[in-house]
Structure 1
Amino acid sequence: MGIAHKIYQLNNQRMLKRTISAIPGGDLSNVQTSRHDRMQRRPIASVIGYSLPTTEVMATLIEEYFDSVHWFSLVIFEPRFRSKFESVRDGLAFPSQKSFLLLLSSILGMAAWYKSHKDSPDGDHSGEDLQHWASALVQGAGSQLVDLMDDSSIASVQTCILLGSYYVYHGKPNLSFALLGATTKTAQALGLHRQTSSGTAESIEERKRVWWTIYTWDRFASVTYGRPLGINDKDCNVEMPLDMAECRQFRAGTVVGTDNSICYSTYQRELNRIYIIASPVIEMIYGIRTVGSSKEIAGLQYTRHIMKVTEKLWHWRNSLPSHLVLDLTQDYALDLSAPAKVHRLQALSLQLTFDNLLIITQRPFLAQQVDHLFKNPHGDAHSSATHSPIDVLDGTHPSPVQAPSASGSNTNLQLSTTEQWWHAALRTSKVTEMPHLAQLATETHLVAFLAINLFNSAIVMVVLALSDPLSDRAQEVKRTITRIFRLQEVLGKRTTLSVQSNVVLKDVIHMLLQREAEAILAPVTASQVPTTEHTQPRSIPSDQHLMSVEDTLRLPLQFPFEHISGLSQSRVDNSADRFQRLNESLASVQRAFPFGIDGVQASNVTGANWDPSAGPDQVSGTNTQPWAETAFSDQNIEGYSLEQPYDESGVDLSNNGLYWFWDSIWNDTRP
């Protein structure tokens, strides 16, 4: 079709005089909207099939949209959107404006949903049934998804993006994921992934914003669902959005100017940057090309790659503009200006994204650790000339990074992987100590994103606490997870995701308390008496009742390694012991997750049914081996491959939505 266009141009003819929409690529570019006479404008209801609110209510809801959604996801560009809105403000529109009207409907519906959940709704429109409008407007736009995707316009792409974000945050993640794929292909058909110099400055800026929103959505979906990326960085050359102020006021008589404008786009540019940094690791972990090729991405080379990306993430964090840096020691002040409120929320969003990526990108280390521990059960790998994953994870050869502490000050820290996990989870949980900021976040589109990350941080901390249930850190975890659980209860009024997260958290909390009790009441055995390089092993009678008081009190406040693993090995070094317990704690947490698709338990990597009431050392059913030995048996170690449940068509049923990254095996090898 491109060549055909060129041929027609040789004779100064325009090919689009005829209908060629059935040909792929026939009318996706240079579509000329015919000039309609004003008499051809119709009531909006006759164009989209349902009514919109009054003009006054629409203006109020658009302002609510800017306060609740736009700062978080810059799908629209205010100057372009404003001009289109003004053209339909009188309630009439051309049929060719249907996609924009559906975009407007989505914006109004999302705004009505958030406004209806605020404690103090605007008194001027308290008589409006905002919950009815929220449901009717979003459903009205969603019912015409097929027409939207067939339209292939900027407005149709914008509408699909908004509906996708609404679905993923309000209980329909599978629909959102499918919609992402369709939106990406529609955007590529429009050439949004390529930089263009044609058109007005405003239209170019709008195209950039739309594409980068899809790009970050694709990255977020990959780490959320554990699936391959849908956009290749090498296929895109779109420039970053510019810093441009936008006016959030749409009521009649509003004068657009710098006094009532806010710059939102710096946030979008920084969000783009962090996902670009993390993309190589995301692609490596979830890419199709890495399935079944563990040897290529395991070992020191992969470790160095992860550490390099970690350093880049910290460099990004330390180079953020000051207004987008979240101060974890100071709560949100109620008397802040409108721009300051927006930037405070954007800073929180960036901090949550940063810490979540730190956790995700370093998750594969644990799978490598399982393999290393079983191949070197006696810890003799430390004498090797090369460094094992333990060395790097334990901080023996870490890469120094500039990491801010919880107080916000910068300190040179050399953090092991588990410490990176711990500090990232702890920073995320700090929002529970800032009630004003948390309240502000619950009233915006950040609410479900906050819920996801709070859930992730709680699971990380529980895993670390389970590996050493009597440590000071474990006690801190119990206090922190209490605050997270209570905040999630409040967030549950806004998003179903929080309600379901707390169902899982209840189970893992019970597991943590049970493990703590078992550690306290664990039997005392002589083999637990610690020795150091300066002391000789004591000759202790086989009768454990004859142990001295001193020897008894020297026992570590944790499970004996043999008790946890159920493995027959004489002795392992302290670091191997610690990381073995960490992996087994993670496997234990997996069993607390609910059932996945078609009743297959997403966390069950052994094929046995786990009974929470039976304790962590037992699994119900025919398999009665110790739980850790069952989860990590010798026959399942090669290639980090455990048996995963598949349906008759070979589809992996083990990934349970947002819980995917707690799977024991991250590269999901398949015969």
Structure 2
Amino acid sequence: MHVSDAGGRSCAATTPVPVLYAFESESRVRNVLQDRGDLSSLANSVAAFTYWDHRGLRNASPARSLQDDRPSAPETPLLNSSPLSGTGQDSRSQQSTVDTPHLYRPRTSTYEVVDKIFKEHNPQGTIHHTSAAIPGGSPEARTHNSEVQYLLVSDVVGEDLPPSEIIDLALDAYTRAVHWFMLMLHLPTFRAEMQTFQGTGYVRADRVPSLVLVILVIAVGAKYITSQTAREKCPGFDLNGLGDRFIGKVEEKLLDVYEASCIEAVQISAILSSFYLYQGRPSRSVAVNGSCLRVAMTLGLHKESSWKMQDVVTRELWRRLSWVIYTAEVFGALAYGTPGTIRDDEWDVSLPENIGDTPETCPGFASTETYEGEPCGPVTILSYQRYKFRLYRIASSITRTIYRPNGASWNSIATEIKAINDRLQQWEKSIPPELRLSSLRVTADNEYDRRMIKIFQLQALVLQLSYDNIQLVLHRPLLTMNRAPSPPALNDTGQSQGPFGDGSSRNLSDLNEMIKTSRYQCWVSAMRTSKMGDHAEILSASRETHGGAYVGIQSFTAGVVLGIFALSDPLSDQAHQAKRAVSKIIKLPRLYEYRTTISDQCGVILEELLRLILAEEMKALLVEGDASTKAGAAEQAIARSRANSNSAESEQPGHQRFPRIDFDPPLTNTDDFPSMDNPRSLPDQSPEIPRDICMGNFSDALLSLQDIRTSNTFDNTTQAWIWDDLIWQPEIT
């Protein structure tokens, strides 16, 4: 390795620079630098990088950091900053490294440090590197060959690109199937480069990843074109075969793309991972998605303060991809039941803004996007993405704090559930009419308006399903508890022990009220999901998009929740409603023709669940006398519980932490429940829960559900993990 100035003259001695490891001591770093006479003046600066120490014990900081051109990370997330204001990001980026706690400073690779040393010594110089094998080599420090190499597109792809009309058809299909759902491209830029490949037949060697991205988009679009459309638009052309060949070529080139470590590698991984997931290949999806996350973090996509580009379009594209990756990671943690690998305090990127390719508004509406009371501009097709990103930011803590609480008490878990629920409800209240299904039952006179309305309808459907599914996952731990556990035994110091908190009557009363609230929210969300058939045209439109498989994944969780309600008291009116709702979910794919591999597998399992409900109903009918006796006993138990609760409240006024919910009188009309179309806050409105929800035995219902799991293999995208009571819950007697 050596340094050359702008004129190509050698400026460094021939002595090789040793690799400096992060665990080297300060004296070792100083000695190494002093051995190089031409760099001895930098010894003090480099020695001050003592926060390399993984224990983070040293506090010395240099007078001028070698990382000055990479601003330190902001102290607070940029999530809620207004997209109309560009000052927040810039002002935070100017924060001094010295002001940032050393444990949270961006850590650099050894190669980057050496690169900085040479640049400090000779700012005009560049490194002629032979360092491709060194971990952490910075792409910005690398030089390219002076001779630009061009390759034939046909040599890279293995065949010529298809005719222009086929490419246009496939790109249009991709836009309708994926682009509205996951915003991973800046279409004008993408089209321009694609047309260059078409027109010249050549690709520059360092732009091969862009060509791989092009053939991937063509392939995904081709796979979403219906056979009828193919016969009408391109008779005799094998679009399905084209998609298979191009997908295979992308898979063949994937490792080369990763080695390039460029933004196209992130785009390719994100598109390919989502395609695998929604085409029924979840194992491949999770592997590619993990690689996507690592490549993105290597590029610094999670820290906007480290970005160096000046181009507005490029910055916005990076923001889009950053939040797509974040959302995919949180969704994956919820769907697969795995711990989230992203820490919110490390993901520090502003929400994307409109940059000219997403200005379309919904015909007949003119709402303003707002969040936390702040206006963020008009509602456009980009607004769905921003609301979705905010939603998954809220949901990111569920698998970490609710399902893996590390010995937390039931009371603290209930408190956390309530806090997340409050944030979800605030998010729901901010949804504009353009993204609410009830507001979008409109017609249009021309094709453009109809297409725009269809996009907003699909986005509204996905937002509603996402919100309800997250609520179901959030409240599931309390759903299957019949009551708060009895106070545990006291230890020698007079303090309670076990996972249930201090066991005071106030805490038990609060927990019981939160259990009721959780059941109510689960019922509301599951029933609303079962009513997707009320939006038949939107469901039909989703069948050739990512949204079709997404509906299948989210509706499965709702079906299982409804099954638990039915099994908790098989002869109740509530069980009858739940049973009919499960049957609606099963029939949806067939009725509205959005069948996918995921929906087929989920449908088979829900059919087994429905058979189990009918079997339990038969058992209850044959022993109806015993059931009536048990119901009467349960009524008496509830009355005693209310009396005790009222007594405790009279002794300790003002201590109720969770919303008080009364079960009388019963609600039989499910349309009265709060929803995104008819919002009603649980704490403010004190809603009533149907009596049947209170009467059921939910613990036994879960045991019955687990019997199904022994004979059926759950696909790992169906969130079946959240029904495994043995994950962490203690046994309750």
- When normalised by structure 2's length, the TM-score is 0.67
Tell me the amino acid that sits aligned with residue 443 of structure 1.
E
Question: Is residue 469 of structure 2 the alignment partner of residue 356 of structure 1?
Answer: yes
Q: Which residue of 2 aligns with 1:46?
A: 155
1:656 to 1:216, Cα distance in 2 relative to 1, 3 A: closer
Match of 1:662 in 2: 723
Kindly indicate whether the alpha-carbon contact (under 8 Å) linking 1:454 and 1:484 is maintained by their aligned counterparts in 2: yes
Q: Following the alignment from structure 1 to structure 2, what is the Cα–Cα distance between the partners of residues 14 and 48? A: 37
CA deviation after TM superposition for structure 1 residue 575, in Å: 9.7
Partner secondary structure for residue 76 of structure 1: coil
Aligned length: 532
Alignment of 1:537-576 (within 5 A): none
Q: Distance in 2 between matches of 1:55 and 1:456?
A: 43
What is the alpha-carbon distance in structure 1 between the residues aligned to residue 138 and residue 556 of structure 2?
A: 46
C-alpha distance in structure 2 between counterparts of 1:170 and 1:83, whole Å: 29
Contact in 1 for aligned 2:482/2:697 (Cα 8 Å)? no
| 2:528 equivalent to 1:424 | no
Q: What stretches of structure 1 of length at least 5 have no aligned partner?
A: 250-261, 396-415, 537-573, 603-653
Matching of residues 110-129 of structure 1 within 5 Å: 110-116=220-226, 119-121=228-230, 123-129=232-238
Question: 2:247 is aligned with what amino acid?
Answer: V
Q: Distance in 2 between matches of 1:276 and 1:331?
A: 31
Deviation at 1:73, TM superposition (A): 0.5
| Residue 511 of structure 2 corresponds to residue 386 of structure 1 | no
CA 1:154 to 1:286, structure 2 compared with 1: closer, same or farther past 3 Å? farther
Query: Which SS does the other structure have where 1:73 is aligned?
Result: coil
* Distance of 2:230 and 2:486 partners within structure 1: 58
Q: How does 1:502-521 map to 2 (within 5 A)?
A: 502-521=603-622
Q: Which amino acid aligns with 1:101?
A: L
Residue 293 of structure 2 is aligned to residue 184 of structure 1: yes
Contact 1:109 1:134 in 2 (8 A): yes
Q: Residue 64 of structure 1 is aligned with which of 158, 161, 173?
A: 173
Post-superposition offset of 1:313:
0.5
The one of 225, 229, 241 equivalent to 1:132 is 241
1:72-106 per-residue CA deviation (whole Å, 9 max, x = no partner) reads 01111223323322321223212222211111121
**5+ long unaligned stretches in structure 2:** 1-110, 361-378, 490-501, 640-689
1:184 positional shift: 0.7
Give the equivalent residue in structure 2 for 1:213.
324
- 1:386-465 equivalent positions in 2, closer than 5 A: 386-388=507-509, 391-395=512-516, 416-465=517-566
Distance in 1 (CA, whole Å) between partners of 2:385 and 2:223 is: 24
The correspondence of residues 541-620 of structure 1 with structure 2, limited to 5 A, is 578=694, 581-593=697-709
How far apart in 2 are the matches of 1:285 and 1:134? 41
Residue 301 (structure 1) aligned to one of 409, 412, 427: 412
Does the CA-based 8 Å contact 1:463-1:589 persist in structure 2? yes
Please report how far the alpha carbon of residue 41 of structure 1 lies from its aligned counterpart in structure 2 after TM superposition.
Answer: 3.2
Instruction: Work out the CA distance in 1 between the residues paired with 2:246 and 2:445.
Output: 32
SS in 1 for 2:508: coil
Identical positions, percent: 27
Superposed, 1:2-401 pairs within 5 Å as 2-9=112-119, 10-31=121-142, 40-90=149-199, 91-116=201-226, 119-121=228-230, 123-195=232-304, 196=307, 198-246=309-357, 263-286=380-403, 290=405, 293-294=406-407, 296=408, 298-327=409-438, 330=441, 336-366=449-479, 372=485, 384-388=505-509, 391-395=512-516
- Asked if structure 2 preserves the Cα contact closer than 8 Å seen for 1:50 and 1:140, the reply is no
Q: Which amino acid aligns with 1:343?
A: F
Return the offset for 1:174: 1.6
Query: Match of 2:68?
Result: none
Question: What is the distance in 2 between the residues matched to 1:36 and 1:218?
Answer: 40
User: Can you list the C-alpha shifts for 1:609-664, whole angstroms capped at 9, x where unaligned?
Assistant: xxxxxxxxxxxxxxxxxxxxxxxxxxxxxxxxxxxxxxxxxxxxx98964111111
Q: Deviations over 1:406-464 (max 9, x none)?
A: xxxxxxxxxx1111111101111221122111101112111111011111111111110
* Alpha carbons of structure 1 residues 575 and 30: separation in structure 2 relative to 1, 3 Å: farther
Counterpart in the other structure of 1:636: none
* Residues 15-66 of structure 1, C-alpha deviations (whole Å, 9 max, x = no match): 44223211112243355555765xx533312123344322221122112111
- Preserved contact between residue 152 and residue 186 of structure 1 (Cα < 8 Å): yes
2:512 alignment partner AA:
D
> Which amino acid is the alignment partner of residue 279 of structure 2?
H
Are residue 495 (structure 1) and residue 596 (structure 2) matched? yes
Question: Residue type matched to 2:303 in 1?
Answer: R
CA distance 1:309–1:144, change in 2 (3 Å): same
The answer to whether the 8 Å contact 2:469/2:554 transfers is yes
Contact kept, 8 Å, 1:489 with 1:502, in 2: the verdict is: no
Structure 1 residues 585 and 158, CA gap change in structure 2 (3 angstroms): same
Counterpart residue type for residue 93 of structure 1: V
The CA distance in 1 between the partners of 2:419 and 2:127, in whole Å, is 51
CA–CA distance in 2 between the matches of 1:219 and 1:324? Answer: 22
Provide closer, same or farther for how the CA distance between residues 307 and 533 of structure 1 changes in structure 2, counting only shifts above 3 A. closer
Flag the 1:208–1:122 CA change in 2: closer, same or farther, 3 A.
farther
Q: Which amino acid aligns with 2:207?
A: Q
1:541 — aligned with what? Answer: none
Distance in 2, matches of 1:384 and 1:593, equals: 37
Aligned-pair CA distance for 1:193: 0.8
Deviates more, 1:9-18 or 1:503-512: 9-18
Which letter maps to 1:57?
Answer: I
- What is the letter of the counterpart of residue 105 of structure 1? I
Per the TM alignment, residue 392 of structure 1 is displaced from its structure 2 partner at its CA by 2.0
State the SS of the aligned residue for 1:42.
strand
Letter in 2 for 1:110: V
Is the alpha carbon distance of 1:94 and 1:345 closer, same or farther for their aligned partners in structure 2, counting shifts above 3 Å?
Answer: same
**Tell me, what secondary structure is at the counterpart of 1:593?**
helix
**C-alpha RMSD of matched pairs (Å):** 3.4
Q: Which amino acid aligns with 1:365?
A: L
Report the residue type matching 2:388 in the other structure.
L
Q: In the aligned structure 2, how far is the partner of 1:175 from the partner of 1:138?
A: 13
Mark the CA change 1:4 to 1:365 in structure 2 (over 3 Å): closer, same or farther: same
SS at match of 1:23: coil
Which residue in the other structure is 1:540 paired with? none
Q: Provide the C-alpha distance between the structure 1 equivalents of 2:240 and 2:518, rounded to a whole number of angstroms.
A: 45
Provide TM-score, normalisation by structure 1.
0.72
Q: Deviations over 1:307-327 (max 9, x none)?
A: 121111111111023212222
1-side partners of 2:575 and 2:693: how far apart?
Answer: 17
Q: 1:366 to 1:423 in 2, by over 3 A?
A: closer
